[in-house]
Structure 1
């Protein structure tokens, strides 16, 4: 009896808070309420990025020069695409330790098929993506049918794929991509025209305004509280002004790379899939509680398969972009810190290691943080050892923040 009387009271207080969240003050108050409840979103990584950029700019003003930022965006695109796939498996509380090796195999396969065997480029890329899909499906089958932990299966895959990469490249160990070819130009030189980048900078604000107004109209039609139009216009205006300012600054240098535009387009598509589709809701449900999702009628095995397939395909695509960036496919592709940087980018950007929470934007934000650290230390002529230590520290802080936010959400849910 006491439980049935307490629940409506909580709902009434919640409705009251939402109802008063009007105007700029209400928008700020609602944001602070979400932060206190543990819904910090991308706030920690944005604050961290501001701190990192401020420190490196003070130490070396070249860091924030337009051309250095353009190079940073080029470098973000390759590992960022791989991190986008990691987000898919992390949302399920799983992991893929083989994405680095998968990217190396994708790079080697394109080099062998396109350069050595004369297969059309589009077919070579399709072959790399198809192999990624097969590998991802195999991981999912081992997880759902045999119960093998993804940590073990993908660790085995890491070794197997590394061997396949060495086999494909043969005794030479590397394959140079032709200079002047489309992939090399795309990975090193191709820049959006100014009018294209400015037009694309305006689009997100317009989409936010239109979609937000539609949401407000639906909620008002259902007699539910809706945010103020003033707050919506303010958000759209701030977003548009910020993006236009960034694009104008980049255009004062070389401009916005097409490769980075491809990465952002993939992020937008995956964000839509995560937030606006039944598949995305199923991903969140399975990551939160797989057994409950199964009882609710969700095809858990299918969700696992889709996540691992996408992860491996994004890894293969990242390898293709990496070969374009470096103008070669070599034994070093996908090795070193590629694997860990991709995983770290997804976690630093805000995707939870505990499953059930994640965003495509976390791959974008996280890889910008990691590449900013690498670029800043390079400009200061400091050793890579510091980069590993600083990145490890940032990763640890991100996991601590995620853990504390999770505990805060649990405690508020019980209140």
Structure 2
């Protein structure tokens, strides 16, 4: 064979070899990310294309095996950050046939696994998501109501929700600041201030960098019997010009402002980033519940939300620029709990370069947290539920408890809030009808 023929044969062989690799490794695993929540762990496989996969579990020891068809990888799994209590390690294993990428998760215990794919959604591409939950564990209960043996009163419980997290970074500022990190700092500071307030207690919906679906956040608040849910976010828009903090409450219709519509779209985008899993399967029933329980409870919650939002805005106005001086309304899943007053605080526009710098500043984060705390504390100082320590302290210091009627409140809503009958409320105030006016001061009889 001549040198020329030998060279030609070698080139053909190399081309055939490369082509075969393109066929069986058309997809590539670019990276693996592990997000550990207190009771679960999410593993995300970043791929160049939509994966075709299978999975099965093994025992002795416990393992989850994931086979991804027509896929290759050049990553070092030993360098992946892993703070999960469920996963010991993730490793490659011998594939059942050529072209299959086999990944094995060595587990510390039996788990329930849920696998699903997610389409490209900026800043991520195609993903295979694996959600793991302890199959023998039970959901932990949080003792959010503080009572002693000789005390019938309780703390006011405030659920603090740091928006986004994990897979979902939220909005990203011009210099690369992640919303999820900024709001976690502010939420942590706010929770600390509430916990330092006598008669109040804060519970965080998330305590680390992991994703929680918006419907799940209000469910967590309900599980701890929260009196208020505060969701902390940092706004963004297509233009860098908008700036200022705002406070949002629930609208049963779509938002009628451009910023509000953008906010609703951003929530949908967050759901795509964070993924579906089993939580989204419950979203229809959650929304159905919210729609069918539009009774006295919903009216009361919405009225209280508006009042607290107004108080918080007054204090925010003293520490930062406001986007709007009145509460704004949007149809957001995190606000849709029918029985818990809920507000969403946009601490500023992270898409605005000046406000992005402010939101990164610990001093400014402290000011924002202090303002939110001050507004909430002022509201409950006058409107604490009657079975709480704050209400008991107030009633012991004054014989007659008073209430100033806020916009959207009715006599029935006020009676329900203080757990007194409408007839007793009318009698205490010499009312001949059920009509009350905004700004009117009412004497609240003892429950």
TM range (shorter): under 0.3
The higher-RCO structure (CA 8 Å, 6+ apart) is: 1
Structure 1 or 2, whichever has the larger Rg, is 2
Judging by fraction of residues, say which structure has more helix: 1
